[in-house]
Amino acid sequence: MSEKKILRALKGERQAVPPIWMMRQAGRYLPEYRATRAEAGDFLSLCYNSDLAAEVTLQPIRRYGFDAAILFADILLLPQALGPKLWFETGEGPRMETTTTPDQVAALRPDEAIHETLAPIYQTLRILKQELPSETTLIGFAGAPWTVATYMIAGRGKEEQAGAHRLKAEDRPTFEALIERLTTSTIEYLSAQVEAGAEVIKIFDSWAGSLKGQDFEDFAVRPTARIIAALRERHPGLPIIAFPREAGEGYIGFAHKTGADCVAVDNSVSPEWAAANVQKDGCVQGNLAPHHLVQGGEDLVTETRKVVQAFQGGPHIFNLGHGITPDASPDNVQRMIDAVRGA
């Protein structure tokens, strides 16, 4: 297990060739994914069909030989398991029954009740544990409480997360109660993922960048730190990656404040800046801009090598600054991998 490249990086080892995986690596840019999703019928059916979810998780591993596979699921499966209805509008993304009042927060299912709904997700992990190549690390994940709360409050993803900021300002006790519930349920969900076979956990705080000042400390840093501490108590030595996207200066010291083994950085900061300010505290993951996988060409190779070069002085996991987009070229993904590995 200690020989897996991802795990070596997460332990702080600098490697001449960094391990590589890619956010949303199982997704719509791959024709084999589109075929499997059509077989499932819709996105949620795919998430809850353990055999098909395992299949789409394995597809990019077979095609590219990434150093890690990340569980195919969605951050909104957890709030769905807490009770609010969830559905996906074609071409528009997720929609969710809103949670904005004290009674609605109080009516959320207890933490121990989530596992019945989420049992297929754990089964996907068990399948992957058996099917993945021995050198491939299995990553489980969840959304951070703030990010998940923004969807629960607004009922959908919205720019600047205005609904969540409004509730935080106008009814802070209800907002804090929701964050508290999401923190405890996320601990239970991620712990069950580890028990099912996840070797590494990643916490996605996709909307962390809209939290400023003390709010960033209160609702991005502290919940993540609580989740990590609780997971480590149950699973000593568990490696954890935190991704407070668009945190800017908030990336500095995030590993120390939360206990994360690795901080993933987005492409709004340069790799040189992240190497100087974030990598000094340990492993960094990132941060090629996803648009290069659409545009391709020499810029893709040049920018990929620039990222590798910037982080070569310390532990690094090569990844994108955000998820790969559906219009990316599968051939460009291979070209990126070759540039990282020096082919």
Q: Is 151 an active-site residue?
A: yes
pLDDT by residue for the chain (343 residues), tens only, comes to: 458 999 999 999 999 999 999 999 999 999 999 999 999 999 999 999 999 999 999 999 999 999 999 999 999 999 999 999 999 887 778 999 999 999 999 999 999 999 999 999 999 999 999 999 999 999 999 999 999 999 999 998 877 799 999 999 999 999 999 999 999 999 999 999 999 999 999 999 999 999 999 999 999 999 999 999 999 999 999 999 999 999 999 999 999 999 999 999 999 999 999 999 999 999 999 999 999 999 999 999 999 999 999 999 999 999 999 999 999 999 999 999 999 999 6
Transcribe 7-23 into DSSP letters.
HHHHTT---SS--B--T
Is the peptide bond prior to 287 cis by the omega test (within 30 degrees of 0)? yes
Q: How far is CA 36 from CA 39, 52, 122, 209, in A?
A: 5, 7, 20, 34
Q: What are phi and psi of 88, to 5 degrees?
A: -120, 125
Closest CA to 151 of 217, 218, 95: 95
Question: DSSP states of 167-220 as a string?
Answer: HHHH-HHHHHHHHHHHHHHHHHHHHHHHHHT-SEEEEEETTGGG--THHHIIII
Considering the candidates 14, 74, 126, 166, report the single residue annotated as catalytic: 74
User: Is 24 annotated in the active site?
Assistant: yes
Domains delineated in the chain: 24-283 (3.20.20.210)
What's the CA gap between 195 and 38, in Å, rounded?
30
With 0.85 as the threshold, say if the pTM is over it.
yes
Catalytic option among 64, 122, 151, 251:
151
209 contacts 249 by C-beta, under 8 angstroms: no
The pLDDT of residue 228 is 98
Q: Which of 14, 37, 63, 109 is catalytic?
A: 37
- 34 belongs to the catalytic site: no
Annotated catalytic residue 103? no
CA distances, 152 to each of 13, 110, 170, 193 (Å)? 39, 16, 16, 22
Q: What is the pLDDT of residue 1?
A: 43
The catalytic position among 24, 181, 226, 335 is 24
Angle formed by the axes of helices 50-64 and 114-131, to 10°?
40
Give the integer Cα–Cα distance in Å for 260 and 121: 24
Report the interhelical angle of 297-310 vs 330-341 (nearest 10°).
40
Sequence-ordered list of residues with C-beta below 8 angstroms from that of 171, at least 6 positions apart, any chain:
none
